[in-house]
Structure 1
Amino acid sequence: MKLYKIETVQYINTSVEECWDFFSSPKNLQIITPDNMSFEIQYFDGKRMYQGQIITYTLKPLLGIKISWVTEITASKENQYFIDIQRFGPYKLWHHKHFFEATEDGKTKMTDIVHYALPLGILGRLMNRLVVKTKLKAIFEYRHHKIEELFNSKL
């Protein structure tokens, strides 16, 4: 199994507590996901992120094909981090860590680290090279710009 990694860092002009308030709510994931993916939460219990929480949603990541995805929050420490993993969905493995750190100048350093693997062996590796890696990069770039708009454009 070939394992891939994406890591992004963003500095947000707000406190760790305000970041946590936004990012620990599953409903806000839709806000930072590109509209063309038709992201829709199907189920979550309405609570902030906590260990053991299950979230189900549908999206159209490629060619308008609708897929279901189930994630579980496997770890969570308020104002510091949470980890989600895919239980059911398109990846063989999806492990996403979200870290929040206060900086000396009152900002928050947000770090995302995703490890993922695709099914189908060599075909999955080819799909990653041709499509998946580029699509994931575009999603994280969209999130970066959306977060800039939501938090860093405030004066």
Structure 2
Amino acid sequence: MTRFEVVANIAAPPQRVFDVSLEVEVHTASMSGSAERAVDGVTSGRLRPGDTVTWQATHFGLRWRMTSRISAFDPPRFFVDEQVRGPFKRWHHAHHFDPDGHGGTVMRDVIDFAAPLGPLGIAAERLVLNRYMPRLINLRNEHVKAIAER
């Protein structure tokens, strides 16, 4: 299993960043490079506790689907989305929003994931996913930052 953290400083209050981070349209726009879209569950608007959404995207030339659920929710401090069905053996993404003391937000993403397929999955994590996934989250965070700071 792999764990990584990504931190972004955003010049907007935590509640604003929290709300923007839960918007389906913001997420899909941030992942436009992989043609990600919501295809089932909550497919537009702001996600709420217990909501599920099925995302479809293309990564590494393959179409993937992942259904995730908002499994923890404490506005504007944090929320968690977890895979309930999809390509990973485990996917747990905790989103934290802390005041920076100057009216802005320190947004911290903590991701725990594991690829399927035993030793083959472990090799995929080490060779590809450990670099690919943080880049993907950083890309998403740059988009969230741009929207929240408007």
Q: CA deviation at 1:47?
A: 5.2
Q: Which amino acid aligns with 1:38?
A: A
Higher Cα radius of gyration: 1
Other-structure match for 1:49 = 47
TM-score, normalised to structure 1, is 0.87
Q: Secondary structure at the match of 1:57?
A: strand
Matched, 1:79 2:76: yes
Q: Which amino acid aligns with 1:40?
A: R
The runs of 5 or more residues in structure 1 that have no matched partner are none
Alignment of 1:6-155 (within 5 A): 6-33=4-31, 35-43=32-40, 44=42, 46=44, 48-63=46-61, 65-151=62-148
Q: Secondary structure at the match of 1:52?
A: coil
Q: Secondary structure at the match of 2:29?
A: coil
Q: Which is strand-richer, 1 or 2?
A: 2
Q: Which amino acid aligns with 1:19?
A: V
Q: Secondary structure at the match of 2:30?
A: coil
Runs (4+) off by over 4 Å: none
Count matched residues: 149
**RMSD over equivalenced CA pairs, Å:** 1.8
Cα deviations by residue, 1:30-64 (Å, 9 ceiling, x for unpaired) = 1222x33110111316453322111112001112x
TM-score, normalised to structure 2, is 0.89
Asked if the contact 1:73–1:85 (Cα under 8 Å) also holds between the matched residues in 2, the reply is: yes
Compared CA separation, residues 46 and 40, structure 1 to 2 (3 A): closer
